[in-house]
A and B are shown apart, each in its own frame.
Chain A
Amino acid sequence: MFDTLTDRLAIAFKRFTSKGRLTPEDVDVGLREVRLALLEADVNYKVAREFIDRVRSRAVGTDVLESLTPGQQVIKIVFEELVTLLGGEDAGIAYTPEPPTTILLVGLQGSGKTTTAVKLALLVRREDHRPALVAADLRRAAAVDQLQTLAAENHLTVLVPDLADGISKGIGKAVAEARRQGADVVIVDTSGRQHLDAALMGELTDIRKEVKISQSLLVVDAMTGQEAVRVAEGFRDQVGVDGVVLTKLDGDARGGAALSMQAAIGLKVWYCGVGERPRDLEPFHPERMARRILGMGDVLTLIERTQDEFSTAEAISAQERMRQGRLTLDDFVSQLRQIRKLGPLESVMGMIPGGRELLKAQGAAIPDEAQLRKLEAIVLSMTPDERRRPELVDSSRRRRIASGSGTSPVEVSRLIKSFDRMQSVMKSLSGMGGRRRFAQEMLKGPGGGFPLLKG
């Protein structure tokens, strides 16, 4: 997720850090690169322009350029502004004191509403609520079937509105019935249209008139280009929207829409879809996302996922070792094995500081199952001692490991080297004490905590 944007920003940042002193012109040149990086990520063009203007005025206006590490200071400003751009504070469903909390899902066709409805219900259930779904997409062929099938697989209740009294009345009754059956959160999946059209808006406005909606969430495909903001604006103005769910963020979409919503139209991203499995919906954390975009990794989210998926004891020890930067190659293998449980590999690795580098060192941007098995085979061909202390591996051991794992000595040393680097990045980030800590890390010498900038 966001990887290509990350790469472009890394190139742009190198312009800042490659020089000891920065002139305002240097800043301009670097920021032009940052702007292009944002635009290539589908960030709304107005938002990108304003973003650069803000960073420039902060960078040139203060004593930043006179400081000892001007490049790092500029990057720090970019990070802070990025957090602001992404929406600042976290946001999510506000459960109403008086149940049910009724959530309306709206969006264009193909944005992923139906899948999101199920994912959101599961997320709500993980937060100890009792969700039910209302299948109000009565337009697309088999949309109700799709919701019912997905819901049944996940043991969720679905109510189908009775159309006898018209759609909005039918939905109202379905919501009441869900409440009667004990649900305290009701998620209404509505029909989409290909575009913002009067018929869709009319239908949605009717629903809002008839049914007491607590919050309405707009579902947006992360791959959407410049139209994302306009579409969101349309829904916001005509139907009312409280927050955004960004879907398909597990691809290589650069998610510029996520970066634009707050700045352009004041809508925060609440959740993001990060995989095909029903549980792959996560709260959106602006600061963590900014970190991830900048290649800082997102250890917090990884730890949370680990907690969700692993046994507690396992999670605590893995988490502890991860924090202390003492991961061994054994941990690495057990993590590789857990990785499929954790979600799409590329998203998981993106969360580990330097994780992407590790994968790239293996020769591919996005590794496949075969590569995973290869990495695993290499580690499994090592003795327990070697796994704890990879520095033991000399050229003869390397040959042994290579023939044992069906790889080449080069691949073995590549793995060990990358693992070392990951280890040291982990160590330097131990603690992860929020933004101040982040800034300190970042200011430590060339590259600082930016694994990407060390090359």
Chain B
Amino acid sequence: MAAEAEGGGRPRWWLRIPARLDRVGGTMGRQLRTRLRRGQLADEDLYEELFELLLASDCGVPMTEILVSRLRERAAKGRLRSADQLLAALKEEMLAQLGGPSRELSLSGSPCVWLVAGVNGSGKTTTIAKLARRLQAQGTKCLVAASDTFRAAAIDQLRRMVEPTGAELVAHQAGADPAAVVFDAIAAARARGRDVVLVDTAGRLHTKDNLMQELRKIRRVVSGQIPDQPAEALLVMDAYVGANAIAQARAFGEVVGATGLVLTKLDGSARGGYVFQVERELGLPVKLVGLGETVSDLEDFDPVAYVDRLLADDDPERPTI
């Protein structure tokens, strides 16, 4: 996929991240280019501005400090003589942060269980519907466990979104024990020969210990039923989140043993620059990106395309790096 991105056939989602925003001064890529045309590469102010530009994309203070100091080192060795070299170096450093664990989604086990968790409002229910649609379209038979029994009308919302995908739904009453829903869902999947169980969970702030314990219990129920499951525990975070993303990823990582991230709402103005730190520090790979409100808007994450987009000039048809 990376090779594909380097060539002409970029993943189509690349184009759907809007580059031209009504942001004053344009995108990060545009601002950086404007700045580079103006000043000297040895200029201390340049690095200060680079620092702020990276922060403005929510890369976070620690990651921004790493990236800027790497560029400084390169500059000190006289390796950055032009604006293009600086941009290419930045791209390289950014890509170096992304990597490690595989981005493949595991379908092993029968049934295979995917747990989906995240804070309130991050887009879990929508992501579940998108996953169901994608798997069903591949001929993988899905069953969705409606374990968000807390939020009013969450079960209704899930039912309306999942039904058109052809996936089955197992739901209890509102207020029921979410772990019991999972238990029944797994039993149902076995009885009816379903391949994948998608578990929707209630949104919860990662600081609420009792709610995190509940999530731990859900996971335990899954592993109790089928050893080696859940095959995936996906943490859903939207691109608008700031520095709090790290705390969220850490907490959910510990409690549900998250296997990857779904980065949602990437089709807007936010960039989710925190993924660099999440991948590097926590080793949690971004596996999927959510790019819109319709159920087909879910794609594999491609680091090269992502970084390109982050650093792109305003014109999406004219990738410059």
Contact = CB atoms under 8 A, between A and B. Distances in A.
B58 A248 contact: no
Nearest to B290: A194
Interface stretch (B85-93, B137-145, B152-160, B180-188): B152-160
A228 B123 CA distance: 18
A221 B121 contact: yes
27 contacts: A36-B61, A112-B120, A141-B157, A145-B152, A146-B153, A146-B157, A148-B153, A149-B153, A194-B265, A194-B267, A194-B268, A194-B293, A196-B268, A223-B245, A224-B242, A225-B240, A225-B243, A225-B270, A226-B57, A226-B58, A227-B269, A230-B23, A231-B269, A251-B205, A252-B206, A254-B244, A366-B207
Contacts of A145: 152-153, 156-157
Given A196-B268, A227-B270, A253 B153 contact: no
A253 B244 contact: yes
Contacts of A225: 58, 240-245, 270, 274
B156 A252 contact: no
Contact of B207 (A110, A230, A231, A346): A346
Contacts of A252: 206-207, 244, 247
A195 B269 contact: yes
A366 B243 CA distance: 19
Given A39-B55, A224-B240, A253-B244, 9 more contacts: A45-B55, A110-B121, A142-B160, A145-B153, A194-B265, A195-B269, A252-B207, A256-B242, A369-B210
B205 A196 contact: no
B122 interface: yes
Interface in B112-161: 119-123, 151-154, 156-157, 160-161
Contacts of A226: 55-58, 242
A376 interface: no
A251 B58 contact: no
A119 B247 CA distance: 27
B156 A368 contact: no
A118 to B, nearest CB: 9
A190 interface: no
A195 B265 contact: yes
Nearest to A108: B240
Interface string A355-368: 00000000000101
B119 A223 contact: yes
B243 A368 contact: no
Interface string A195-211: 11000000000000000
B247 A221 contact: no
B209 A368 contact: yes
A293 B52 CA distance: 23
A328 interface: no
Contact of A251 (B122, B244, B293): B244
B151 A227 contact: no
Contacts of B208: 251, 276, 344
Interface string B73-95: 00000000000000000000000
Contacts of B247: 4, 252
- Chain A's interface size range is 35 or more
Nearest to B56: A226
Interface of B: 22-23, 52, 55-58, 60-61, 119-123, 151-154, 156-157, 160-161, 174, 205-210, 213, 238, 240-245, 247-248, 265, 267-270, 274, 292-293
A140 B152 CA distance: 13
B56 A45 contact: yes
Interface string A97-138: 000000000001111100000000000000000000000000
A219 to B, nearest CB: 10
Contacts of A112: 120-121
Interface in A2-57: 4, 36, 39-42, 45-46, 49
A250 interface: yes
B269 A196 contact: yes
Residue of A227, A248, A346, A368 with most chain B CB atoms under a 10 A cut-off: A227
A234 B22 CA distance: 9
Contacts of B270: 225, 227
B209 A366 contact: yes
B116 to A, nearest CB: 15
Nearest to B48: A49
A133 to B, nearest CB: 13
A160 to B, nearest CB: 13
Nearest to A118: B152
A141 B244 contact: no
A254 B174 CA distance: 32
Contacts of B241: 223-225
Contact of B156 (A142, A193, A230, A369): A142
A227 B242 CA distance: 8
A150 interface: yes
B255 to A, nearest CB: 13
Interface string A365-388: 010110000000000000000000
A369 B214 CA distance: 13
B242 A110 contact: no
A149 B123 CA distance: 21
Contacts of A253: 242, 244
Nearest to B60: A40
A193 B156 CA distance: 20
A251 B206 contact: yes
Contacts of B207: 250-252, 346, 366
Q: Which of A148, A223, A224 has the most CB of B within 10 A?
A: A223
Contacts of B209: 366, 368-369
Contacts of B57: 226
Contacts of A36: 61
Nearest to A152: B152
B168 to A, nearest CB: 18
Contacts of A195: 265, 267-269
A39 B61 contact: yes
A299 B206 CA distance: 26
B128 to A, nearest CB: 12
B156 A227 contact: no
B14 to A, nearest CB: 17
Contacts of B120: 110, 112, 248
Interface string A216-254: 000001011111101100100000000000001011111
Contacts of A346: 207
Contacts of B156: 141-142, 145
A108 B152 CA distance: 19
